[in-house]
């Protein structure tokens, strides 16, 4: 069965802290994505990766960076957390065939609160 896991369901951090959100998929998918979801704004793409060590900016990459050292793992990094990064973060993966618009499989989400 398809599985995408995220390291934490809930996270509380202080302003200025460096925050790592981890995502692991066991489906051998090439594409991986990070979204944030805010009330009234829907899902917005932060970054995606179509291969190890490759990354592409999404619609709102400012204040974030990513790392993909292994195919199954995609990390989202908040270099210096700010209160406006309080949000629900969703990771997803998909097969390379069909491109990044193919069916995506989502993790359960990490709800991050920055104080």
Partner 1 sequence: SQQGEEDPQALSIQEGENATMNCSYKTSINNLQWYRQNSGRGLVHLILIRSNEREKHSGRLRVTLDTSKKSSSLLITASRAADTASYFCAGQGGSEKLVFGKGTKLTVNP
Q: Does 42 bind partner 1 (CB under 8 A)?
A: yes
What are the residue ranges of helices labelled H in the chain?
none
- Of the candidates 28, 62, 97, 101, which one interacts with partner 1 according to CB under 8 A? 101
For partner 1, the closer CB: 22 or 106: 106
- Of the candidates 32, 78, 81, 90, which one interacts with partner 1 according to CB under 8 A? 90
Burial class (CB in 10 A: 0-12, 13-18, 19+), 80: exposed
Which range touches partner 1 (CB under 8 A), out of 12-20, 34-42, 66-74, 78-86?
Answer: 34-42
Quickly tell me which residue has 């970054």 as its tokens: 47
Which range touches partner 1 (CB under 8 A), out of 11-19, 63-71, 75-83, 101-109?
Answer: 101-109
Reported in sequence order, the residue ranges of 51-109 that DSSP labels E, i.e. its strands, are 56-57, 64-70, 73-78, 87-94, 105-106
Would you tell me how many other CB atoms lie within 10 Å of the CB of residue 64? Answer: 20
Q: Does 107 bind partner 1 (CB under 8 A)?
A: yes
- Of the candidates 59, 65, 70, 115, which one interacts with partner 1 according to CB under 8 A? 59
Whole-angstrom distance, CA of residue 103 vs CA of residue 5: 17
Using CB under 8 A as the criterion, which residues of the chain lie in contact with partner 1 when the complex forms?
A: 4, 35, 40-43, 45, 48, 58-59, 88, 90, 92, 99-109, 111
């Amino acid at each position: 069965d398809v599985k995408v896991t995220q390291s934490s369901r809930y996270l509380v951090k202080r302003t200025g802290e460096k925050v790592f959100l981890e995502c692991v998929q066991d489906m051998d998918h090439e594409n991986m994505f990070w979204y944030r979801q805010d009330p009234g704004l829907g899902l917005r793409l932060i970054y995606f990766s179509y291969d190890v060590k490759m990354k592409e900016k999404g619609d709102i990459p400012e204040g974030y960076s990513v790392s993909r050292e292994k195919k199954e793992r995609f990390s989202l990094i908040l270099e210096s957390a700010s209160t406006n990064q309080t949000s629900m973060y969703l990771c997803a993966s998909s097969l390379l065939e069909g491109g990044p618009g193919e069916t995506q499989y989502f993790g359960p989400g990490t709800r991050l609160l920055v104080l």
